[in-house]
Structure 1
Amino acid sequence: MHYNQDPIVALATPQGVGAIAVVRLSGKGVIEMVNQLFCGSDLTQQASHTIHFGLIKQGDVTIDEVLVSIFIAPHSFTKEDAVEISCHGAPFIVEQLIQLLVAQGVRIAEPGEFTKRAFLNGRFDLAQAEAVADLIAADSKLAHQTALHQMRGGFSLELQTLRKALCHFAAMLALELDFAEEDVAFLDRKDLKILAGALIENLTPLIDSFSLGNAIKQGVSVVIVGKPNVGKSTLLNQLLQEERAIVSPIAGTTRDAIEGTLHLGGIRFRFVDTAGLREKTLDSIEAIGIERTKQQLSKACVVLYLVDLSHMTLKQAEEDLVALGLEGLPLLKIGNKIDLAPAAALENFKDYLLIAAQAGRGIAELKGKLLELVAQKPTDGSATIIINIRHCDRLQKSKEALEAVVTGLGEERSNELLVVDINRALQALGEITGEITTEEILGEIFSKFCIGK
């Protein structure tokens, strides 16, 4: 795949006022172009990976004092000549600097173009390139560890092993086709069936890990629902360990969704306290709050259904559960106010997690249950977890192709048909790492990156 190696420039640090800003360049001639504006060392005579202090000038006018870092190809992120200019973080200075560089013939970079060039120049494969964006966006410990593991090639190594085994068998089958008239067999069909089955077993846990990976990447939305005055706001405050929601004995106090974030086991959970659900209310504002509760439920990863054990029977709670339309949702049923409830209620609600939110009893157990719902197996970030829906889709396609191979072997299909299915599996795996790709796929992927990356 060919692309222009023309020089590009972009702000690599966030927009806005800051102590410093970093302007990044890559491509043919960027060191010479910056040198024409730089008053200090002759940058064209400097070694790679060195930093130089000086002035950026427009004629006799000084724009700023800067530090210029030099990276000579192929020893840079993009494997091209690259320069990073650290200047003061005033937007005016950054704008002036970029305008001067554009006047020198440098082009403003497209979103993700630096990382795209790194991929096209063989710096890393496509799965690793996508992990760069995930690493930048990581907002929890596990999200950071998972993206870093993928960026360093953990996932890619697994895919290479799978593709190598498949390529061998595809080659042997193709070779048999060349010698069809001699009726020569280069491999045992039983071995191919065993291999296909083993590859399916390897792909299945990777595909299954996407539910956890998506939670790690996107965070987990947890909506707290129940009748008015069952302790939803108290529970939110206890989980967050701060007075986020107003607590009152008056029913209908919470009118709008109140949110707070908590990290459990390296995963970000976003808790939403909602207006109490009841079928009828004369308060128009509360009615709006109830409608917003229903909107939150449609986006929830987990629903915490809270009941007041001191005022509700099990039959009432289950009837309300059905009436509120919560059945079928990822649900954790919680019985609150165990310190005020009769002993019989505690026995009847044995399928509920029993807590006393105001006293803080059962909160640790609740956090543990939430983590169990999201992550069936604990992880420290060293295992491969699929966090990208594109990867999950291609893995699923590869698995389906391999299942077709197993079926074909059982039905003694011809080599031509088996090779077609094996090539489908190889195609899908190759699209993950970029060994097989198109400009359209790359455009879709890198358009989601920030400009300076």
Structure 2
Amino acid sequence: MKNEYTSTLIICIFAFMFSQDTIVALATPSGAGAIAVIRLSGPDAITLANAKFKSVRNKDLTKQKTHTIHLGHIVDGTKVYDEVLVSLFKGPNSYTGENVIEISCHGSQYIQQQIIQLFLRNGCRMADAGEFTLRAFLNGKLDLSQAEAVADLIASDNEASHQIAMQQMRGGFSSEIKKLREELLNFASLIELELDFAEEDVEFADRTQFITLLSRIQEVLKRLIDSFAVGNVLKNGIPVAIVGEPNVGKSTLLNAFLNEDRAIVSDIAGTTRDTIEDEIAIGGIGFRFIDTAGIRETTDVVESIGIKKTFEKIEQAQVVLYLSPLTPAIENLESIKVEIERIKNQFPLKTLVVITNKKDLYTPEQIETIEAEIPSTLFISAKTGDGVETLKNKLLEFVNTGALRNNETIVTNTRHFDALLKSLEGIERVQLGMDGGISGDLLAIDLKDALYHLGEITGQVSNDELLGNIFANFCIGK
């Protein structure tokens, strides 16, 4: 298949280009710390490191076994830069598949830069963003989706995003896609073979078995596509808008969630003029809370802009927490119900939680009346913390974590989602063609299209622009 031949050629060119040089970069975050790690990768990594490393036991790094650690000093002639530990990995048994050296030095920024510059002056090139992982991909250590999971793993800031990234990096998603693609490729090959013997009118591909395979592939692709709705919010955090009239305790609730004074709180209505956002993990799931300006009629220009932003944030949120006004709320119950219905009608796809805040200021009789009129309301006191944990547990109920608990494949990457959609479209065209009895050459076109998009996910089909876009988002040193 032409696209795959082109992809293989591009990968070979990339691999040849990278096989000629040795790269160096700081692998730990920039800045001062206790320890820093400087990484070299390439054919001359061990030789170059050995030239500037003086072992305390006079070891020659070029003669040492792979996956060993050695104590010594980085030197340049008589100048000693630092006492270091050198980790040695011989290709292909390394992260990149090449010879790799990792130098653990003290975390002084001066020492880091001096060692890096030393190797730049002596045969190394500064690594581009994501180049170590790109080399791992080109050398067959990772496929493309696993490489992307490396970036997701680095960026993970809660249990759910970490678990998804680990599952993808271990190859769960890749193996599922590769298996589907391999089965589909076998049938595509048989149909191509039929075209070569078109004059003999023979069938090599069992059409009944093929129809069964198409149905199963469609089922798997639809499941993976549907998982993106969950995966995207688990990866990026679930947006929660806190809305209501002025001075009902929205900012106090945000501070209670975050356990810090993130938002300014006062008795003056309209204190919050702009949205304030922050994220916390609840039960291992990331939630992004958005404190908004109070909703009311106002002639204040700045406050009006804030209220407009409030409705924009409601549009972007997955969950809306509506805080009802304080006493005399009993007299305002009808207007509260009208506001609740207005939000429901304006944003029908949002999950709405009605909250009566400042529970500590209500009498038992008032609470009973409000519960009778608005049964769905949740009573809390953001100031004292009463009911806040109950609210957190309620938020977790809105997250479909079944697939996460069952360790099922969850799609979180927009590129993968798009490729799955296009592959499904190709499969559905093949299905329609089978039902309509179209010729094998037309079936082969749609099959190639479905295979191409599946191959895009794992990198079996790729191009230099795609690889450049993906790895440009990595940090240097990874």
Q: Which amino acid aligns with 2:130?
A: G
Secondary structure in structure 2 of the residue aligned to 1:57: strand
- The one-character-per-residue Cα deviations of 1:109-141 (angstroms, maximum 9, x if unpaired) are 111110010111111211111111111111011
1:336 paired with 2:356, answer: yes
1:354 paired with 2:378, answer: yes
Secondary structure in structure 2 of the residue aligned to 1:206: helix
1:133 paired with 2:151, answer: yes
- The one-character-per-residue Cα deviations of 1:332-376 (angstroms, maximum 9, x if unpaired) are 1314146454644423323x3422334656544533443343426
Q: Which amino acid aligns with 2:79?
A: V
Question: Greater CA deviation, 292-301 or 321-330?
Answer: 321-330
In the other structure, the counterpart of 1:161 is: 179
Q: Cα RMSD over matched residues? A: 2.5
Q: Which amino acid aligns with 2:83?
A: E
What TM-score comes out, normalization by structure 2 length?
A: 0.87
Partner residue of 2:449 out of 409, 415, 424 = 424
In the other structure, the counterpart of 1:49 is: 67
Cα 1:438–1:244, aligned 2, differ >3 Å: closer, same or farther? closer
Secondary structure in structure 1 of the residue aligned to 2:160: helix
In the other structure, the counterpart of 2:27 is: 12
Unaligned stretches of 5+ in structure 2?
1-10
Once residues 389 and 11 of structure 1 are traced to their aligned partners in structure 2, the CA distance between those partners, rounded to angstroms, is: 29
Partner residue of 2:283 out of 257, 265, 287 = 265
Secondary structure in structure 1 of the residue aligned to 2:34: strand
Following superposition of structure 1 onto structure 2, how do residues 310-321 of structure 1 map, counting pairs within 5 Å? 310-319=330-339
Percent of aligned positions that are identical: 49
Once residues 194 and 161 of structure 2 are traced to their aligned partners in structure 1, the CA distance between those partners, rounded to angstroms, is: 46
1:327 paired with 2:351, answer: no
Partner residue of 1:176 out of 190, 194, 199 = 194
Once residues 183 and 246 of structure 1 are traced to their aligned partners in structure 2, the CA distance between those partners, rounded to angstroms, is: 79
Secondary structure in structure 2 of the residue aligned to 1:62: strand
In the other structure, the counterpart of 1:447 is: 472
Following superposition of structure 1 onto structure 2, how do residues 177-216 of structure 1 map, counting pairs within 5 Å? 177-216=195-234
Partner residue of 1:223 out of 241, 252, 261 = 241
Is the Cα contact below 8 Å between 1:355 and 1:363 reproduced in 2? no
Is the Cα contact below 8 Å between 2:324 and 2:356 reproduced in 1? yes
- The one-character-per-residue Cα deviations of 1:278-330 (angstroms, maximum 9, x if unpaired) are 12144x66455435534544543332222235453245443476389952462
Partner residue of 1:302 out of 308, 316, 319 = 319
What TM-score comes out, normalization by structure 1 length?
A: 0.92
Is the Cα contact below 8 Å between 1:173 and 1:186 reproduced in 2? yes
Once residues 319 and 368 of structure 2 are traced to their aligned partners in structure 1, the CA distance between those partners, rounded to angstroms, is: 29
Question: Greater CA deviation, 430-439 or 239-248?
Answer: 239-248
Q: Which amino acid aligns with 1:441?
A: L
- Normalized per residue, which structure has more helix? 2
- The one-character-per-residue Cα deviations of 1:424-449 (angstroms, maximum 9, x if unpaired) are 11111111111111111111111111
Cα 1:147–1:311, aligned 2, differ >3 Å: closer, same or farther? farther
Shift of 1:228: 1.1
Secondary structure in structure 1 of the residue aligned to 2:354: strand
Is the Cα contact below 8 Å between 2:319 and 2:353 reproduced in 1? no
Secondary structure in structure 2 of the residue aligned to 1:196: helix
Is the Cα contact below 8 Å between 2:330 and 2:369 reproduced in 1? no
Unaligned stretches of 5+ in structure 1?
none
Cα 1:237–1:100, aligned 2, differ >3 Å: closer, same or farther? closer
Q: Which amino acid aligns with 1:263?
A: A
Partner residue of 1:26 out of 41, 62, 69 = 41
Shift of 1:258: 3.7
